[in-house]
Amino acid sequence: MLESKIPAGTLEHKWTDYKGHCKLVNPANKRKLEIIVVGTGLAGASAAASLGELGYKVKAFCFQDSPRRAHSIAAQGGINAAKNYQNDGDSTFRLFYDTVKGGDYRSREANVYRLAEVSSNIIDQCVAQGVPFAREYGGVLSNRSFGGVQVQRTFYAAGQTGQQLLIGAYQALERQVALGNVKMYTRHEMQEIVIIDGKARGIIARDLISGKLERHFGHAVLLCSGGYGNVFYLSTNAMGSNVTAAWKAHKNGALFGNPCFTQIHPTCIPVTGDHQSKLTLMSESLRNDGRIWVPKQKGDTRKASQIPEEERDYYLERRYPAFGNLVPRDVASRAAKERCDEGYGVGSSRQAVYLDFSAAFERYGATEASITGIGNPSKEQIVALGKQVVKEKYGNLFDMYEKITGENPYEVPMRIYPAVHYTMGGLWVDYELMTTVKGLYALGEANFSDHGANRLGASALMQGLADGYFVIPYTIGNYLADEIYNKPISTDHEAFQTAEKMVRERLESLMNINGTQTVESFHKRLGKIMWNKCGMARNANGLQQAITEIQQLKKEFWSDLKIPGSINELNTELDKAGRVADFIELGELMCIDALNRNESCGGHFREEYQTPDGEALRDDANYMYVAAWEYKGDHYWELHKEPLQYDVIKPTQRNYK
Amino acid sequence: MEHYTMNLNLKVWKQKDQHAKGSFKMYRVENISSEMSFLEMFDVLNEQLITAGEDPIAFDHDCREGICGMCSMYINGKPHGPWQANTTCQLHMRAFQNEDTIVVEPWRANAFPVIKDLMVDRSAFDRIIQAGGYISVNTGNAVDGNAILIDKDNADNSFAAAMCIGCGACVAACKNSSAMLFVSAKVSHLALLPQGGPERHNRVINMITQMDKEGFGSCTNTGACEAACPKEISLTNIARLNNEYLKVSVVAEK
Amino acid sequence: MTWKQVFTSSVGKKLVMGLTGIFLILFLVVHAGLNACIWADDGGVMFNRAANFMGSNIVPRILEIGLFIFIFLHIIQGYVLEAGNRSKRKVGYAIAYGNRGSKWYSRSMAILGTILLLFFIVHWKQFWIPSRFTGMEEVTLPNGLQVHNLYALMRETFSQLWVVIFYVICCISLGYHLAHGFQSAFKTLGVHNKRYQQMLSSFGYGFAIVIPAIFALMPISFYFHLIS
């Protein structure tokens, strides 16, 4: 059933060969072909713009009030590309290798190699579009290092790289809208996929302002709807980020790949109380200069400044002397959780660790003092100088921290805790980014393809844009070339009617529950189950409990939910209810997948499978496959395995000691 | 930082839809923690309203980390509330005291019609971008990223303008409901880069024409937009736009 | 871009305001310089002579026509813009942003301008119309030239307290109008370099204080007999 369609030939030639031999659609025919794009983040906006440029008739949908607001905009750090501008030994192969290794050997070689190959074109394209990347005084592009790799290949625009890249793609998209090639539907949410004769042929969308359902035909449908981190309720995702589009596709036959692979980011601002609605990331770059510690004494309630140096436990430096504070995200996150679970956490919630810059103040301050020629500087002078340097590097992040917590991180150490950040899992796609439903594609974070079990920093932006700008324009032609004989299908077709009826009935049944509990309260409860039992560390017992609890929650949801207002109006509670209903079902599948995968790899840590010193223990003999789940009915999924074959890279145990 | 709880009176604009007549409604929320964000306080209020069988307050929000530009509340007479260089979602309740009365209104401008309660329609901004806020380069046309060197200061200034999040606070703050800060940020972002050069003349004309068509007012350089901007986009950009415009009007062929 | 487009767009309209404004600023300098002759303490000889030159020489007469065109353009365009801008927000705010976001006088250019318009009407009626059209008392200069005795007219006019107070209030209005208008005009004309902007803004504030102060001192000097 799973045909990954990886082209034959050597790794380096697969994509070139594919491009040289895939079917093409001539310009006159492109004008007759309609494509639907759901979501306008990096993947969606770049795909819609590129396909519009090619001459296809594109319809793009987003639930926000403008395509520019998709959550790609929140990415801070940067975007990787194998440009080797620094002459430090980078290459397509090295980017490919780092990505596969970072993903703990659970991704497809061919896909990742293609990603590394097109990474350079992305930078060129973005520069041409007017993305104001950081530059050196000589006028060339600047790079920084990121996420534990050994070369400097990350391009960035201060701490707002995602914003700048998205605005670039958004501008390209709006240009196509102006030219009439793309029709944009904002404040619209996809509610159902329409399948005719086994092929995706359109969607049912809901106008979120009027509440009306609309039918839209397309020769192909692209889902670029992002990740599902909000299944945990608290995450760094935007409030509106949801799985609904992907989940409808899944329930209509698209397989869901590796749903349990979730990335927990180690440096986020901790939860302050039950009122918390979302979590905020503090860029990974802070770990370059901050030292992470907890008190050596359990339940120590003293202020950080009152705890003397010898009573501090720099646990990452202690456990991983080679990488120290710069271990990969999954490792750093688990270590923080371990300390807090053992009772060493700090802050009022005891669910936080310190990220301390005082050493950096002194180090930078001393350098600065010698540069400016201050002889015999006092400690205060050094610290003051050091703070200036740190301010230049991370000023905006420090300000953001102060806005949220009310604490001045220049005076007291930051308190941080891991939070859900990204989902590597997603709709299963083949080499052409097509799901198991013909004509239905998934791009960007919505698919499962490139990051394996753990994503490296600055790679999400790369993947979203690679899929949209440089992959889909080729691979979709290979499918649409055969579609030129098919006239657009009228939206009066029976399949559209049935799909719309289903959506209407579902909305009505949600409205008719008339219970007592709010959508938000269910979402919070789901989040707690997921975080506690399918979060940073998982075990079989907990996962089984979680499955039972989620099934119970689902029953309660469908019998005691309260939604105010009505269907045919702007009703944000109804919008949320639809999303939470899908999250509940997805949560169950995530637990099933996590329970099935009897190994630890990347972001998936099963407590039963660890080395004696607490590191992840992979089981390549039994689990070197993509778990692709087929929906078979309520609470029932069938597992399909796509074996992962490593022809070029030899998988090894990751070691950061 | 000492945390405290507070009880608050809220005076919030309620409007059923675009065509309905709206009015203020009073609400009371209790036991609000100073650690909450402003929108979390609204979440508490909405939960309270839903449970009581009342209509919750509709407001726009998404990323809640100050970058998507979706949130848009005019709080106690200032777009995005009392803090400087801040978005509504990043405003925290420690900005308020027990028993404060907080007045919350939607952005007000003819070009931003109210959709419901505190939500407004900002699609005019998208149409201004469609008029020319882009560089016409198809995917695949690009030369190497380092082929054209860019003066670092220009790149930095371009970035400073490109930081605009398109939230519309400038329009909300301006006595003329002018969108000049928004338009000038985009014009400056692209005019400062060599890539945007070939189209700079048409861009500025087309974007201004569209801005006028959308029903925004004209700029009188009062500086209210700059003071309200969460990303501190500088008024200098407006002067740069004027400069671009003047140049085009002098050198135009026809 | 056609000329029509240029001058009917919102930026173009502002351009008209800025250009005419700068011309009027230049006029203020000339006017203030000329009137400063009253302080020559020569019984108005120098002043009357200068005034006569302005009224009889062909160059200032032509410039005067330009001045009137520009003043009217500035006034009409100003009111058109104000009316247009006010109409852009049909439903207003319950609480105004007010002085937290901008200076009161930046927001009140139309009101300040209206005060100045009233001033012009009074001022023209008092000085310009008699001198140009309805005729007035003459005086013979030491060189034998017969000229209008505007100096005497000033002395007479500024002996009335209400006129002095009215003039001083109008000069204050002018000061605030200039405090915003001066730098705004240059921004509208596209001066965006920080160094010039800062320079122009400091100079503008200085200008907004000095020029109105000179004008205000004239009625005060006459009223309090500070000049002979």
- 82-111 in B: which are within 8 Å (CB) of A? 83, 86, 90, 92, 94
Distance from CA of B69 to the nearest CA of C (A): 20
Does residue C68 belong to any structural domain of this protein? yes
What are the C-alpha distances in Å from C36 to residues A222, C39, C47, C213? 77, 6, 8, 11
CB contact under 8 A, B152 and A135: yes
More confident call, A655 vs B178: B178
Does residue C93 belong to any structural domain of this protein? no
Pick the CATH number of A493-643 from 1.10.760.10, 1.20.58.100, 3.10.180.10, 3.40.630.20: 1.20.58.100
Average pLDDT for A100-113: 95
Q: What share of chain A is helix, strand, coil (3-state, %, to 5)?
A: 40, 15, 40
A363 touches chain B (CB under 8 A): no
Question: What's residue A653's pLDDT?
Answer: 82
DSSP, residue by residue, A411-424: TSPEEEEEEEEEE-
Let me know: does A454 contact A102? Beta carbons within 8 Å.
Answer: yes
**Residue B1 in this model has a pLDDT that exceeds 80:** no
Residues of chain B found within 8 Å of residue A123, distances taken between Cβ atoms: 145
Let me know: does A386 contact A368? Beta carbons within 8 Å.
Answer: yes
**The pTM is what?**
0.96
Which of A35-39, A146-150, C198-202, C224-228 shows the lowest per-residue confidence on average (mean pLDDT)? Answer: A146-150
ipTM surpassing 0.95: yes
**Residue A304 in this model has a pLDDT that exceeds 90:** yes
pLDDT digits (tens, 9 = 90+) for B12-64: 999 999 999 999 999 999 999 999 999 999 999 999 999 999 999 999 999 99
**Residue A149 in this model has a pLDDT that exceeds 80:** no
Split at pLDDT 50, 70, 90, the class of B213 is very high
Question: What's residue A285's pLDDT?
Answer: 79
- CA B84, B163, A151, B152: dihedral to nearest 10 degrees? -110
Distance from CA of B199 to the nearest CA of C (A): 14
| Residue C128 neighbours by CB under 8 Å, 6+ apart | none
Question: What's residue A361's pLDDT?
Answer: 94
A501 touches chain B (CB under 8 A): no
B252 touches chain C (CB under 8 A): yes
Question: What's residue A515's pLDDT?
Answer: 97
pLDDT digits (tens, 9 = 90+) for C105-115: 999 999 999 99
Question: What's residue B253's pLDDT?
Answer: 76
**Residue A472 in this model has a pLDDT that exceeds 90:** yes
A116/A107 Cα distance (integer angstroms): 13
Average pLDDT for C150-167: 95
Does residue C99 belong to any structural domain of this protein? no
**Residue A331 in this model has a pLDDT that exceeds 90:** no
**Residue B159 in this model has a pLDDT that exceeds 80:** yes
Split at pLDDT 50, 70, 90, the class of C47 is very high
Let me know: does A628 contact A2? Beta carbons within 8 Å.
Answer: yes
Average pLDDT for C133-139: 89
Split at pLDDT 50, 70, 90, the class of A77 is confident
Split at pLDDT 50, 70, 90, the class of A617 is very high
Average pLDDT for B102-128: 98
**Residue A31 in this model has a pLDDT that exceeds 70:** yes
- 91-130 in A: which are within 8 Å (CB) of B? 121, 123-130
Average pLDDT for C180-200: 94
Does residue C51 belong to any structural domain of this protein? yes
Average pLDDT for A523-549: 97
Count how many domains chain C has.
1
Question: What's residue C157's pLDDT?
Answer: 95
B249/C5 Cα distance (integer angstroms): 9
- Which among C96, C107, C186 is the nearest to B77, CB-wise? C96
Does residue C92 belong to any structural domain of this protein? no
Of A42, A50, A69, A573, which to mutate for an interface test with B (greatest number of B Cβ within 10 Å)?
A: A69
Q: Which residue bears the tokens 């100050």?
A: B66
Domain that holds residue C203: 10-86+107-223
Task: Provide the mean pLDDT of chain B.
Answer: 96
Give the SS3 label for residue A60.
Answer: strand
Domain spans of chain A? 268-418, 493-643
Domains of chain B in start order, with CATH, are: 5-105 (3.10.20.30), 123-251 (1.10.1060.10)
Question: What's residue A493's pLDDT?
Answer: 98
What chains are in contact with C, requiring at least 3 Cβ pairs below 8 Å? Answer: B
Question: What's the CATH architecture for A268-418?
Answer: Alpha-Beta Complex (3.90)
B47/B54 Cα distance (integer angstroms): 10
CB contact under 8 A, C192 and B246: no
More confident call, C133 vs B60: B60
Residue of A nearest to B146 (CA): A140
| Residue pairs between chains B and C whose CB atoms are closer than 8 Å | 152
| Residue A638 neighbours by CB under 8 Å, 6+ apart | A629, A630, A632
**Residue A346 in this model has a pLDDT that exceeds 70:** yes
Distance from CA of B16 to the nearest CA of C (A): 16
Does residue C96 belong to any structural domain of this protein? no
Question: What's residue A394's pLDDT?
Answer: 83
Split at pLDDT 50, 70, 90, the class of C127 is very high
Let me know: does A536 contact A232? Beta carbons within 8 Å.
Answer: no
